[in-house]
Amino acid sequence: MPRHILFVTGTRADFGKLEPLAAAARDAGFRVGFFVTGMHMLDRYGLTKLEVRRMPGVEVAEFLNQREGDPQDMIFAKTVIGFSDYVRQARPDLVVVHGDRVEAMATAFVAATNALRCAHVEGGEVSGTIDEVFRHCNTKLATLHLVSSEGARTRVLAMGEDAEAVAVIGSPELDSHARPSGVTLAEVRTRYAIPFEDYGIAVFHPVTSELDTIGAQARAFFGALDSSGRSFVVIHPNNDPGCDAILQTIAALPAERFRALPSMRFAYFSELLRHAAVIVGNSSTGVREAPFLGIPSLDVGTRQTNRARGPSLTRAPATDTAAIADFLACNWARRYPRDTQFGQGDAAAAFAELLRSDALWRLPLQKRFHDG
């Protein structure tokens, strides 16, 4: 039987990063499955589990790990219970988790306590929120580290990980952006009822350590976008604490210039991003995919602090309405050279090569701290 590679996905965002890796593993002859949970299962966020189910040739298991309003510690506990039950039956050869979400930490914990190999995608990165703590926890729980840059590799090694267990493959979502999306902008605008041709993209997520100010940040940020007179496609925030205050602000925006969507299919979002005048907010898309495509981006607030630098990337506090207005005036529809600090768009091929190598499967499950 081929080895079983099990991917864990909790959001539309991490599925976009994991899908190219899963497709490469499937095409290389491995048995591929997805454990689908988190925001994917919630109607309010577009019921994006359906997008995972559209992927051909993979198995899908679903688990509802939360109700509206559940705190993150409760979501962690529910995910541990559900995933532990599942892997005792499925017994995957490799569990693949991504990034810094609580679902990734819960499933990496289960893998570690059940002597299952676990690969962590995009570890070793820094940001300005509790997400960074979750990400570093995942690094210590995982047996294999698929990092996006040499800087990330250095940080993983600084945490005492084995150099032979760290592979720089780049950011997997760039694989999708490096090739044609498969849809046209006209098809995107029709499917999502986007009435304007000249538009920016706005994505503003909650920062869980700033709940006392996140509502004011959202009002200032979207107020500045409104005052600009420009049109924007707004993607709803993730479901972390504080999202309700952001959604209330979005709901009050004028519909003739703001098209708000709970989610988009990845290929459609990729095509939308390629033609956007700018992207603004605090999504990782603004610091990774947008620079790769040469799209000017404004990163507001602390969520992506220290995540990336580059000529197409500008930073400002979410409440600095003058800086936001200046960015929109100076950068609207500009284009920059492609930034490859997070990869060339070939992460999936590197991942498939690792799966085929004996070195991966020889990595010891018993970890030890490597000094220096």
Tell me if residue 189 falls in helix, strand or coil: helix
pLDDT at 55: 96
290, 173, 158, 302 alpha-carbon torsion, rounded to 10°:
40
Residue 316: strand pairing partners: 300
The rounded distance, in Å, linking the Cα atoms of 127 and 306 is 6
Task: Find out whether 266 and 19 touch, Cβ atoms under 8 Å.
Answer: yes
What are the pLDDT tens digits along the chain (372 aa)?
A: 899 999 999 998 899 999 999 999 999 999 999 999 999 999 988 899 999 999 999 999 999 999 988 999 999 999 999 999 999 999 999 999 999 999 999 999 999 999 999 999 999 998 867 889 999 999 999 999 999 999 999 999 999 999 999 999 999 999 999 999 999 999 999 999 999 999 999 999 999 889 999 999 999 999 999 999 999 999 999 988 899 999 999 999 999 999 999 999 999 999 999 999 999 999 999 999 999 999 999 999 999 887 888 899 999 999 999 999 999 999 999 999 999 999 999 999 999 999 999 999 999 999 999 997
Which residue from 91, 89, 131, 125 is spatially nearest to 111, judged by alpha carbons?
91
Which residue from 103, 106, 101 is spatially nearest to 123, judged by alpha carbons?
101
The rounded distance, in Å, linking the Cα atoms of 83 and 69 is 21
Q: Which two tokens stand for residue 324?
A: 């936001």
Which residue from 308, 294, 304, 367 is spatially nearest to 139, judged by alpha carbons?
367
Domains of the chain: 4-177+344-362 (3.40.50.2000), 185-331 (3.40.50.2000)
Task: Find out whether 297 and 286 touch, Cβ atoms under 8 Å.
Answer: yes
- Torsion sign (Cα): 55, 271, 337, 326: negative
The rounded distance, in Å, linking the Cα atoms of 48 and 41 is 7
φ/ψ of 218, rounded to 5, equals -65, -45
pLDDT at 109: 98
Residue 302 CB coordination number (10 Å) = 18
Q: How far is CA 56 from CA 18, 36, 291, in A?
A: 14, 15, 30
Q: Which two tokens stand for residue 261?
A: 């969507």
Question: How many Cα atoms occupy the beta-carbon half-sphere of 209 within 13 Å?
Answer: 10
Say what angle helices 243-251 and 214-227 make with each other, to 10 degrees: 30
The rounded distance, in Å, linking the Cα atoms of 58 and 53 is 8
pLDDT at 162: 97
Task: Find out whether 281 and 169 touch, Cβ atoms under 8 Å.
Answer: no
Strand order of the β-sheet with 94-98 is 59-62, 31-36, 4-9, 94-98, 118-121, 144-147, 166-168
Q: Which two tokens stand for residue 45?
A: 């966020």
